């Protein structure tokens, strides 16, 4: 498939590599196409990857991955809303605020979530929240000695979620769990806070959640 990734940070580069490795044609959309990290990324993905403007990547993708800093999300979505109409948009963002000398915090919660804000902003697209509860270093082929991590996702459109499940499987996720409609982003974003807290306590960022069943 043609995949457009909006943003060129760690998440964009990791998912872009992982998806290109399984044969998808990935375009990264950025304000700064000359970034040295992108030159290295392009060398790695070769013909299966390209770099363009945010609008070009949004047009290129049959599926779009939103991987921008939360404070930029609304402006970015406003720019590319027409290109995203009718498409599946995977929302990887976490609505975090960063204040000096304070741990990151959610800027929305309890009765609203970033996932819902993205869906409201993109009324003509099918938003699926996924991959926000794991480090970019473990988004692709997640492997742990102790077992298989779980990836929760949610969204309003059933066929959009099926397409996202296929991409998750391409990325190596085996235990994928549909939590329901996009309001379940409230749980997924809180889960990220637990993930961050655990990392701060344990002093590492490669952990993942798993669920044990009898
Ligand atoms: N890092 C992780 O392991 C991880 C894991 C799960 C979820 N997430 C979430 O995924 C998202 C991306 O995270 P990240 O760590 O890859 O990168 P990030 O540093 O949070 O942001 C990446 C991109 O945001 C865009 N951006 C930043 N400020 C902007 C502005 N003022 N206007 C327009 N665009 C702006 C930039 O796009 P340009 O290319 O145009 O500069 C940049 O490449 C975040 O919401 C984060 O919370 C991160």
35 vs 146: which has the higher pLDDT: 35
Q: Could you give the domains of the chain? A: 2-202 (3.40.50.720)
Question: Ligand 1 in contact with 135 (CB < 6 A)?
Answer: yes
Separation between Cα atoms, residue 27 and residue 53, nearest integer Å: 9
pTM of the model: 0.98
Q: How far is the CA of 143 from the centre of ligand 1 (A)?
A: 24
Q: How far is the CA of 115 from the centre of ligand 1 (A)?
A: 15
| Helix, strand, coil percentages for the chain (3-state, nearest 5) | 45, 20, 35
Residue holding tokens 């060398």? 43
Question: Ligand 1 in contact with 157 (CB < 6 A)?
Answer: no
Separation between Cα atoms, residue 16 and residue 207, nearest integer Å: 21
Q: How far is the CA of 72 from the centre of ligand 1 (A)?
A: 8
Question: Ligand 1 in contact with 69 (CB < 6 A)?
Answer: yes
Supply the residue whose CA is at minimum distance from atom 15 of ligand 1: 10
Nearest atom in ligand 1 to 136's CA = 3
Is 90 exceeded by the pLDDT of residue 209?
yes
Q: What is the average per-residue pLDDT within 82-86? A: 98
Question: Ligand 1 in contact with 76 (CB < 6 A)?
Answer: yes
Is 90 exceeded by the pLDDT of residue 214?
no
Pocket probe mutation, ligand 1, options 8, 9, 138, 199, max atoms within 8 Å of Cβ: 9
Question: Ligand 1 in contact with 50 (CB < 6 A)?
Answer: no
Is 90 exceeded by the pLDDT of residue 140?
yes
The mean of the pLDDT values for the chain is 97
Question: Ligand 1 in contact with 199 (CB < 6 A)?
Answer: no
Residue holding tokens 């996924």? 130
List, for residues 169-200, the tens digit of each pLDDT value. 999 999 999 999 999 999 999 999 999 999 99
Pocket probe mutation, ligand 1, options 5, 8, 11, max atoms within 8 Å of Cβ: 11
In this prediction, what percent of the chain has a pLDDT beyond 70? 100
Q: Which band of pLDDT confidence, cut at 50, 70 and 90, is reported for residue 17? A: very high
Q: What is the average per-residue pLDDT within 141-152? A: 94
Cβ proximity of 182 and 156 under 8 Å: yes
Question: Ligand 1 in contact with 94 (CB < 6 A)?
Answer: yes
Supply the residue whose CA is at minimum distance from atom 33 of ligand 1: 72
| Cβ atoms within 10 Å, residue 72 | 13
Q: Which band of pLDDT confidence, cut at 50, 70 and 90, is reported for residue 131? A: very high
Q: Which band of pLDDT confidence, cut at 50, 70 and 90, is reported for residue 60? A: very high
Strand partners, 28: 5, 51
């Amino acid at each position: 498939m043609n995949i457009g990734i909006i943003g060129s940070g760690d998440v964009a580069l990791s998912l872009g590599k992982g998806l290109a490795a399984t044969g998808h044609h990935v375009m990264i959309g950025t304000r700064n196409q000359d970034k040295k990290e992108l030159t290295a990324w392009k060398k790695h993905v070769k013909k299966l990857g390209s770099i363009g403007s945010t609008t070009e990547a949004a047009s290129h993708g049959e599926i779009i991955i939103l991987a921008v800093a939360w404070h930029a999300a609304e402006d970015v979505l406003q720019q590319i809303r027409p290109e995203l109409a009718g498409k599946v948009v995977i929302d990887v963002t976490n609505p975090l605020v960063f204040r000096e000398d304070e741990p990151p915090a959610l800027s929305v919660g309890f009765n609203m979530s970033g996932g819902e804000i993205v869906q409201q902003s993109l009324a003509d697209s099918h938003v699926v929240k996924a991959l926000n509860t794991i480090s970019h270093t473990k988004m692709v082929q997640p492997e742990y000695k102790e077992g298989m991590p779980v990836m929760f996702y949610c969204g309003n459109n059933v066929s959009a979620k099926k397409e996202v499940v296929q991409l998750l499987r391409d990325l190596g996720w085996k235990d994928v769990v549909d939590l329901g409609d996009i309001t379940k982003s409230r749980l997924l974003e809180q889960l990220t806070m637990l993930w961050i807290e655990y990392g701060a306590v344990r002093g590492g960022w490669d952990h993942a959640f798993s669920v044990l069943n009898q």
